[in-house]
Structure formats: structure tokens, C-alpha cells
A and B are shown apart, each in its own frame.
Chain A
Amino acid sequence: MTDAILDYIPIAVMLVFALIIPFVIMFIVKQITPRNPARFKNTTYEGGKDPIGEAQVRFNVSYYLLAIVFVLFDVEVLFLYPWAVCYKNSVVMEAIPGFQLAAVGAMTIFLIIALVIGDAYAWKKGAFTWTR
């Protein structure tokens, strides 16, 4: 195994712990806590009255617009990560002359098209404005 993989072993170990520990805690809690189920104790809280209808309803379209815009922008930010690590990497810069200029130029064009124009468009369309 290479070193890079070895560094991720602690994450795998912790993933097992992180998934087990909450269940272990809940198991212990189940053993030591009293259980007195009652009809009114188990109702959904709604200001003391009997709950009316279900809560899992259709929701405001503003949330949906925000979510779509978020997916767009977050994917763009994701593209920046590999770029940020390599755009001034000395090995690549020596191998390809003019790499840095090309990298900065390409990312500028991408950001202007995707981030600036995208943000301006969503802004103008009123995606960030709450329900009128």
C-alpha cells in the first residue's frame, strides 16, 4: 500500500467508531431509563392542542430556487480545488512553459461566465428575493 492510502486508515477506523458510539449510547440509555408510554405523552407537540393534519407538506418555491442555485455554485467551487493546488505547482510550471498564465486566464474566464454572470442572472431573476 502506498503512503497516501495509509493516511486514510485512521478515517476508516474512526468511521466505525463514529457509527457505533451513538448506538451504544442509545443502547445504554434504553437499559437504564424508565418506560411509561401514555397516549398524550406520545402525541406531536402543537401548542397543547391535538395536531391538525400532517406536517410533511408541500413547501415554498423560494427554498427550491435557492437549492438549485446552491448546487450550481457549489459545483463551481469544487472545480476550484484542484486548480488551486496545481496552478503554481513548480513541477508543472517547468514542464509546460506559460502554464501559469494559461491557468489563471482559463480560470478567470470560467469564473466570469459561471460565477459572476450566473450570480447576476439568479439575482436579476429574483432567486434571492424572498416571497413577495
Chain B
Amino acid sequence: MLEEQMDILLGILYAILGNDYWWGPWIRGVLGLCAMGGMMVAAMFAVWLERKYASDIQSRIGPNRVGGRFGLLQLIADAIKLFTKEDIKPDKVDGPVWVAAPVLMFGSALMMIIAIPFGAFIFNGTVYPLAVTQFDISILYLEAVSAIGIIGIFMAGWGSNNKFAVIAAFRNIARMIGYEVALGLTIISVVIVTGSLNIVDIVNAQSTVVWFAFVMPLGFVVFGVALIADMGRVPFDQNEAEEELIAGWGTEYSGMRFGLAYFAEYIHMVLGSCIAVLIFLGGWNIPGFIVDLNIPLLGLLPVAVFLAKWVLVMMFVIMIRWALPRIRIDQITSIGWKVLLPLAMVNLVWSVMLGLVWPW
């Protein structure tokens, strides 16, 4: 009886994940909405984690009033507040650009969600990645879509017609383009070794041997620094340096428009941690331990492993925020172009040599 039910369940799963029926991809597209909702919860969790962990590092208490001892509902309260605030549109803003900017940022962050496998379901030795869709070029797609968010930030700064916002927008572009090249080169190193642009293939390549973080430590360090810069986190957050630029590109935004842009930034951080886990830290794999269990619940162990790694990476990113001081903009560009780019090139050479002998 149980096996029959499992068969039916697997049949449905297979029909949705495969392309055997015409409605399979469309259902996956709509399932993207669930992933979107899940990502909203994850981003809220990231905000909560950041506030709690930051307060812990600084020996404060942090949010502890709304939602029990740990302030779990604080973010819901904040969301309600943002939702009901007046939508102020300053007179001098560049209308269409200013309105479109948060939409572009939020939309591009949402578009990133569908290509990322959030763990996998392993049954009878077959890996079913829990991704909305998986296609041949998912890494390239992720890079391309996340780059749209950069344009969104620039539009926000330029369209605000505010001096602080414009300075922030320029700094943002200078920072992003400095690190985008190093980021692209390290991602391409992984692609060279595995010979595939598909994220699922890259994760599966790490199940037989060790993670790419150990195979190419230099590439991992460059990728980590460039990723933190790309997410606009603290040592590199020149675009919203509060002490000099009020709120950076977000100075003229208020209420839910600010909320959308802010949320997009957090989704970027969450997804950035996901990508780091997937392509360098082995995704849902545990080193030396291949999960091949026929018990359905234990088959979900990879998801738990993925989530644990993901939270650890996010905590590391948050920890850096409270450990390092902000770097000046001229230092940021010189680190990006004069240190990270040559190191990324060295790593590229190493990965080509590694790729010729891969898999061992």
C-alpha cells in the first residue's frame, strides 16, 4: 500500500519535473510562486538573523518585544509599518526612472530564484533537485539576471535627483564593475573544471570528490570577497555609507518603495549565499558520504544539509559586517582591479590545468 502511494507520488513528481507532458513546465513556472513566497520568508529570516546576531556581537539584546523572547514577529510588524506608510514622491525626481528602479531591483531578485536548486530529493539513487527549473546555462543566467539589479540601483540613485543618491549611484557602479569581472572569472573556473554551466551538474561533480573550495582555495577566496562586494555588504557598502551619504541611493525613497528595494537587497544576500554554497561548498553533498537512502524522510537529508550550510554562510557574511570597517571607494576599486583580478587570472590557469585531468 505504501509503495503504491510512493509510486503515485513519484509519478506526479516525475511528470512535473520532466518534460514528458506539455503542462509540466507550466506547472513548474507556477510553482515558482511558492519558491518566491519561500524566498520572502527566507529574506525575512535573514533580516531577523542579522539583527539578532548583530546585537549578540555587540552585547545588546536586540528585538525581543514582538513575538516572544526572540522577537520573531518583529519583521512582520516592520512589514506592516512599511505597507501603511505614506507613499511620498518628491517633486524633483525623474518620474519613470525613479518609479521603475525598485521594480527592476525586486523583479531581478525574483527572477534569480527559479534557477537555484534549494537542495535535492534523493530516491533510489536518482537525484531530484528541488529547483523550479534547471537548464543548461543556469550559472550564466544567474549572473546575467543579478546584473540587472545593479542597473536598478543606478536608476534609483540617478532618478532621485539628490546629490547624495547620485554619488552613491556612481560609487555603486564603480564597485560593482570592479568585482563583477573577478566574480565572473572565478565562476568560469568552476565551469572549466566541470565542463558544464548547469548548477545541478556542478553540485553533482562535487559529490564524488571534494568541494571546489578545497580544490581551488584561491578561487574560493576571490569569489567570497567579490561576492560580498557584489551583495553590497559592509566592507564594500560604499553605495549606502550611512555616515556620509544619508542612505545612499535610497535617500529619496520611503514607505513600501524603500521596502521593495531593501527587500531586494536582502534577497540578493540570501541568494548570493546560496550560490556560494552551491558552486564552492558542495551544495547538498556531505564529503565522503553519499546519501542514497530509500526511506523518503531520510532522502530529504540533503535539503537539511543545504540549509545548514546556507545559514552558516549567511552568518559569516553578517559577522564580517560587524568585524571590519568600511573601505574607501578608491581602495575598493584598487583592490578589485589590482588584487582580485590578477588572482582570479592565476586561478583560471590553475582551473584549466585541473580541468584537463578532471575527473580523477
A32 touches B177 (CB 8 A): no
- Nearest opposing residue in chain A for B24, CB measure: A6
- Nearest opposing residue in chain A for B334, CB measure: A128
Q: Determine the chain B residues whose CB is within 8 A of the CB of A10 once the complex forms.
A: 25-26, 28-29, 31-32, 114, 132-133
Is B92 interfacial (CB-CB < 8 Å)?
Answer: yes
**With the chains together, A127 CA to B31 CA distance in Å?**
47
When A and B form their complex, which 7 residue pairs have the shortest distance between CB atoms, in order from nearest? A13-B29, A130-B330, A9-B25, A70-B177, A10-B29, A10-B133, A18-B107
Is B174 interfacial (CB-CB < 8 Å)?
Answer: yes
Is A95 interfacial (CB-CB < 8 Å)?
Answer: no
Q: Determine the chain B residues whose CB is within 8 A of the CB of A56 once the complex forms.
A: 94, 158, 161, 166
**With the chains together, A128 CA to B28 CA distance in Å?**
45
Is B3 interfacial (CB-CB < 8 Å)?
Answer: no
Annotate B153-169 by CB proximity to A: 1 below 8 A, 0 otherwise: 00000101111111000
Q: Determine the chain B residues whose CB is within 8 A of the CB of A67 once the complex forms.
A: 173, 177
Q: Determine the chain A residues whose CB is within 8 A of the CB of B184 once the complex forms.
A: 74, 77
Q: A32-B83, A66-B333 are in contact. Are A74 and B110 (CB under 8 A)?
A: no
- Chain B contact residues (Cβ within 8 angstroms of A): what range? 35 or more
Q: A9-B29, A22-B260, A46-B163 are in contact. Are A66 and B178 (CB under 8 A)?
A: yes
- Nearest opposing residue in chain B for A128, CB measure: B337
24 chain-A/chain-B pairs, Cβ below 8 angstroms:
A6-B24, A7-B25, A7-B135, A10-B114, A11-B114, A11-B141, A22-B260, A29-B255, A43-B90, A44-B92, A44-B160, A45-B90, A45-B164, A55-B166, A56-B158, A63-B173, A66-B177, A74-B180, A74-B184, A77-B188, A80-B188, A104-B352, A115-B345, A123-B337
- Chain A contact residues (Cβ within 8 angstroms of B): what range? 35 or more
Q: Determine the chain A residues whose CB is within 8 A of the CB of B166 once the complex forms.
A: 55-57, 59
Q: A19-B107, A70-B181, A130-B329 are in contact. Are A42 and B89 (CB under 8 A)?
A: yes
A3 touches B177 (CB 8 A): no
**With the chains together, A14 CA to B27 CA distance in Å?**
11
Kindly name the residue among A69, A77, A130 whose own CB sees the greatest number of chain B CB atoms within 10 A.
A77
Q: Determine the chain B residues whose CB is within 8 A of the CB of A17 once the complex forms.
A: 32-33, 36, 110
Q: Determine the chain B residues whose CB is within 8 A of the CB of A66 once the complex forms.
A: 174, 177-178, 333, 337
Q: Chain A's nearest CB lies how many Å from the CB of B99?
A: 8
- Nearest opposing residue in chain A for B328, CB measure: A130
Q: Chain A's nearest CB lies how many Å from the CB of B106?
A: 5
Tell me which residues from 126 to 175 in chain B have a Cβ below 8 Å from any Cβ of chain A. Answer: 132-136, 140-141, 158, 160-166, 170, 173-174
Q: A3-B19, A9-B29, A128-B337 are in contact. Are A42 and B90 (CB under 8 A)?
A: yes
Q: Which residues of B contact A (CB under 8 A)?
A: 19, 24-26, 28-33, 36, 83-94, 102-103, 106-108, 110-111, 113-114, 132-136, 140-141, 158, 160-166, 170, 173-174, 177-178, 180-181, 184-185, 188, 191-192, 195-197, 246, 251-252, 255-257, 260, 329-330, 333-334, 337-338, 341-342, 345, 348, 352, 355-356, 358
Is the contact region of chain A dominated by helix, strand, or loop, or is it mixed?
A: helix
B84 touches A33 (CB 8 A): yes
Q: Determine the chain B residues whose CB is within 8 A of the CB of A30 once the complex forms.
A: 87
Q: Determine the chain B residues whose CB is within 8 A of the CB of A18 once the complex forms.
A: 106-108, 110-111
B177 touches A25 (CB 8 A): no
**With the chains together, A13 CA to B26 CA distance in Å?**
7
Q: Determine the chain B residues whose CB is within 8 A of the CB of A127 once the complex forms.
A: 337
Q: A32-B84, A77-B181, A84-B191 are in contact. Are A130 and B333 (CB under 8 A)?
A: yes
Q: Determine the chain B residues whose CB is within 8 A of the CB of A60 once the complex forms.
A: 170
Q: Determine the chain A residues whose CB is within 8 A of the CB of B25 once the complex forms.
A: 6-7, 9-10
B188 touches A81 (CB 8 A): yes
B338 touches A123 (CB 8 A): yes
A63 touches B136 (CB 8 A): no
Annotate A8-47 by CB proximity to B: 1 below 8 A, 0 otherwise: 1111111101110111011011101111100001111110
B140 touches A81 (CB 8 A): yes
Q: A23-B103, A44-B92, A54-B161 are in contact. Are A116 and B345 (CB under 8 A)?
A: yes
A22 touches B106 (CB 8 A): yes
Partner of B252, one of A13, A44, A73: A44
Q: Determine the chain B residues whose CB is within 8 A of the CB of A21 once the complex forms.
A: 36, 106-107, 110
Q: Chain A's nearest CB lies how many Å from the CB of B210?
A: 20
Q: Determine the chain B residues whose CB is within 8 A of the CB of A3 once the complex forms.
A: 19
**With the chains together, A80 CA to B184 CA distance in Å?**
10
**With the chains together, A45 CA to B93 CA distance in Å?**
11
